[in-house]
């Protein structure tokens, strides 16, 4: 009996020791929590959320209006919370907040979690924030539109996307929904729904709308690809489409990419369905039809652009684009040139960009940096967004904005970023690029928090 008691006592002591040891060990290594995206965002608050941390008894929540937590929102400086979420209240509408948490138990407090950024809905009524891109740009002696590529589904009133768009951007381009394939479902049949939502959003929020794109070989609807009529009838179908779209949006869309990417990387005309069926004059025909439709609708201010990519690093392509421009200028058919600028953290160089855009300045064209993003991982050699690439990207955005801002006023139009959050980017899904790795190419992270690239943009305006 005695032995049994001693054995029980020993195992009990071991058990206590194990608990305290585990307890002490766990306490010693109290893990850092992971803060999650907020829920229930409204005009005066949101629900902050985070993951469970083993051995924790509570969490300390910080909420601030600055990413560095220099100042705390009253009542949210290490506010102790026992749940895995907290409804934060008493905030201002239309304002950006940041939150983070630490785990806590009797003897330990963990490190800080990641920082989550959130923008409350509604309008703040507070003066425009100088760190908003369009606010700072509009204060320039010669301002220009700050553009964003959008999808109709993102334009939900009061969403963080909607608030940031209204706060920081003065122009929008449809990333996909104003192209021929989503709009033209059959000859003479048009689905305006998504495109109308985008155009109405711009028009009702005082945001410029750039139309992208009337004719592009990668946006041909099936019915036109399979069109069995004659070449002349094919051309009439294209004319009918351009006329219908330009007329539908007359006075609502300020500019159109009439033709996109008609030049091949080898400097010859790209071998597209349009070239094959309409002949080498097809670009001029498309611009003429757009101009005629605009004028017939009374939209004599519509700006017509040609849009392409990689002309800064490919002289054969650059030369061919400018020969097309000359041809269009001869007919008074072109107003502007779109430089897509899907760039990388090392290329194109400043000198290459200057050479390219200065040729457009010399021809008196409006210049649209139309699809700016800056890949930091084109060779897939990093798996996390390193400091070195973060700073290189910041400098490259700053350089691009400085170059654009230095243009003569007459040549400025818009500088458009091709997507809002890094995870909104087209890059991982591009079959052309065939680069599925992460590239962190944009100005906001997946939580809508501004990145150093956003700071680089702002510094480029100084």
Residues engaged in binding ligand G3I (CB under 6 A): 175-176, 179, 218-219, 260, 340, 371, 426, 430
Distance between CA atoms of residues 345 and 365, nearest Å = 27
Nearest C-alpha neighbor of 451 from the set 419, 416, 409, 422: 422
Question: What is the chain's Cα-based Rg?
Answer: 27
Q: How distant is the alpha carbon of residue 440 from its chain centre?
A: 11
CB of 219 to ligand G3I, least distance (A): 6
CB of 371 to ligand G3I, least distance (A): 5
CB of 179 to ligand G3I, least distance (A): 6
If you search the block for the tokens 């069926």, which residue do you land on?
277
CB of 58 to ligand G3I, least distance (A): 42
Determine how many CB atoms are found less than 10 A away from the CB of residue 4.
Answer: 8
CB of 420 to ligand G3I, least distance (A): 12
Helix (H) or strand (E) holding 240: helix 231-248
Distance between CA atoms of residues 324 and 446, nearest Å = 40
Q: Tokens for 39?
A: 């829920």
Helix (H) or strand (E) holding 185: strand 184-186
CB of 260 to ligand G3I, least distance (A): 6
Return the number of the residue (411 or 425) whose C-beta is nearest ligand G3I: 425
Residue nearest ligand G3I, CB atom distance: 426
Distance between CA atoms of residues 22 and 28, nearest Å = 9
Phi, psi of 332 (to 5 degrees): 50, 40
Return the number of the residue (183 or 325) whose C-beta is nearest ligand G3I: 183
Distance between CA atoms of residues 274 and 449, nearest Å = 42
Return the number of the residue (69 or 176) whose C-beta is nearest ligand G3I: 176
Return the number of the residue (62 or 371) whose C-beta is nearest ligand G3I: 371
CB of 218 to ligand G3I, least distance (A): 6
CB of 320 to ligand G3I, least distance (A): 17
| β strands within 272-353, DSSP E | 303-308, 336-339, 342-344
Q: At 102, is the secondary structure helix, strand, or coil?
A: strand
Return the number of the residue (124 or 438) whose C-beta is nearest ligand G3I: 438
Return the number of the residue (86 or 261) whose C-beta is nearest ligand G3I: 261
Helix (H) or strand (E) holding 148: strand 145-150
- DSSP letter (8 states) at residue 59: E
Return the number of the residue (118 or 174) whose C-beta is nearest ligand G3I: 174
Phi, psi of 71 (to 5 degrees): -135, 150
Residue 215, classified by CB atoms within 10 Å of its CB into exposed (0-12), middle (13-18) or buried (19+), is: buried
Return the number of the residue (184 or 340) whose C-beta is nearest ligand G3I: 340
Distance between CA atoms of residues 164 and 117, nearest Å = 12
CB of 34 to ligand G3I, least distance (A): 29
Return the number of the residue (179 or 396) whose C-beta is nearest ligand G3I: 179
């Amino acid at each position: 009996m005695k032995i049994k008691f001693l054995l029980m006592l020993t195992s009990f002591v071991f058990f206590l020791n194990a608990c305290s040891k585990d307890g002490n060990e766990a306490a010693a290594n109290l893990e850092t929590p992971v803060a999650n995206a907020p829920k229930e965002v409204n005009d005066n608050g949101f629900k902050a959320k985070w993951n469970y941390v083993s051995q924790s008894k509570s969490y300390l929540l910080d909420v601030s209006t600055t990413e560095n937590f220099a100042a705390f929102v009253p009542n949210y400086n290490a506010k102790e919370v026992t749940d895995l979420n907290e409804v934060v209240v008493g905030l201002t509408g239309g304002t950006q907040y940041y939150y983070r948490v630490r785990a806590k138990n009797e003897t330990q407090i963990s490190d800080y979690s990641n920082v989550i950024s959130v923008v409350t809905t509604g309008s703040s009524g507070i003066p425009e924030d100088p760190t908003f891109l369009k606010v700072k740009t509009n204060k320039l002696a010669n301002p220009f539109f700050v553009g964003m590529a959008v999808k109709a589904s993102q334009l939900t009133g009061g969403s963080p996307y909607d608030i940031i768009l209204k706060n920081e951007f003065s122009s929008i381009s449809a990333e996909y929904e104003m192209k021929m394939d989503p709009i033209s479902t059959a000859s003479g049949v048009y689905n305006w729904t998504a495109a109308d939502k985008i155009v109405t959003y711009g028009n009702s929020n005082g945001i410029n709308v750039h139309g992208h794109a009337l004719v592009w070989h990668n946006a041909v609807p099936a019915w036109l690809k399979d069109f069995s009529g004659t070449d002349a009838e094919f051309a009439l179908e294209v004319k009918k489409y351009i006329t219908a779209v330009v007329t539908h949006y007359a006075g609502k869309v300020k500019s159109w990419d009439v033709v996109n990417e008609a030049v091949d990387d080898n400097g010859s005309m790209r071998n597209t369905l349009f070239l094959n069926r309409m002949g080498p004059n097809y670009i001029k025909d498309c611009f003429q039809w757009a101009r005629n439709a605009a004028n017939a609708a009374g939209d004599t201010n519509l700006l017509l652009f040609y849009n392409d990519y990689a002309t800064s690093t490919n002289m054969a392509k650059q030369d061919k684009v400018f020969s097309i421009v000359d041809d269009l200028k001869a007919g008074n058919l072109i107003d502007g040139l779109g430089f897509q600028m899907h760039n990388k953290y090392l290329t194109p160089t400043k000198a290459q960009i200057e050479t390219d855009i200065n040729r457009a300045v010399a021809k008196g064209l409006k210049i649209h940096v139309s699809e700016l993003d800056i890949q930091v991982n084109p060779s897939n050699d990093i798996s996390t967004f390193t400091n070195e690439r973060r700073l290189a990207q910041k400098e490259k955005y700053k350089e691009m904005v400085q170059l654009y801002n230095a243009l003569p006023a007459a040549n400025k139009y818009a500088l458009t970023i091709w997507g809002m959050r890094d995870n909104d980017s087209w890059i991982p899904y591009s079959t052309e690029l065939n680069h599925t790795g992460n590239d962190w190419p944009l100005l906001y992270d997946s939580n809508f928090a501004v990145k150093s690239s956003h700071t680089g943009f702002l510094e480029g305006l100084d």
